[in-house]
Structures are given as C-alpha cells and as structure tokens.
Amino acid sequence: MDRVTLRGLRARGHHGVFERERIEGQTFVVDLVLYLDTRPAASGDDLSRTAHYGIVAEEVTAIISGEPVDLIETLAQRIADQCLKHQAVEEVEVTVHKPDAPITVPFDDVTITIHRSRG
C-alpha cells in the first residue's frame, strides 16, 4: 500500500468530559496516513482515482470543529470513518493530539492513534 500523509491539521473543538472544555473549547491537531494504491491515479494522471487530500483536510477539520464528543477516541473514530468513505482509501491511521488537555502536571501532548481498514 502507498501512503498519503497529512500532518498537523488544526481546528478548534469543544470535545471533552469537563464543562470548561465544552464551553471554552481548545485546539486539536490531527495527523493522518491514508493507505491506498496510487498506481491507477499515477498511470492516468487522474485526481479522481486517488484521495484528494485537500478535501480530506477540509472534512477532518469540519469534524474537529463540529459536534462535540466526550472522548478523543470517539473523535478519532469519526475521522477514520470519514476517511474510509473515500473510494481509494483502503486503510487509515488517525492520530488526534490534545495538547491543552486538562492535566494538572507538566506535559507536552496527549494523543490517541487508531488504525482502521475497510471490512
């Protein structure tokens, strides 16, 4: 499988279990790896036979800024489900970063990474 990678997609969302997170919101960052066969697109130089990463990026940021969920696990699953709706995408790896998570000790980042495939 070939890979198309998008790193650092950012949007403000209101996800989290705490009221403050739901009211104030925070920035979420998403990294994606789309697994697909790029040979059909390359052989015909045809965008319609690959994953249009500009559209994928817009869809992902819309999910981040859309309907709130409690868990970043749920957010990651919604993003994976959307990516797999693209015909060329066979598998996807989604990493959701929550750098402003409400943790009381110093930290750099909180992430979840999931890997999903068709079927």
At 28, the pLDDT band (50, 70, 90 cuts) reads very high
Decide if pLDDT at 119 tops 80. no
Q: How many residues does the chain have?
A: 119
Counting the structural domains of the chain, the total is 1
The structure's pTM equals 0.96
Instruction: Residue 88: name the closest of 44, 39, 26, 54 by CA.
Output: 39
Could you tell me the sign of the dihedral formed by the alpha carbons of 92, 97, 102, 105, in that order?
A: positive
Average pLDDT, stretch 1-22?
A: 97
Give me the domain span that covers residue 20. 2-117
Distance CA 116, CA 118 (A): 7
Residue 10 near residue 61, CB atoms below 8 Å? yes
The CATH code of the domain that includes 83 is 3.30.1130.10
Please list the active-site residues: 98
Residue with structure tokens 């990651």? 76
Q: How far is CA 2 from the centre of its chain?
A: 18
Residue 8 near residue 31, CB atoms below 8 Å? yes
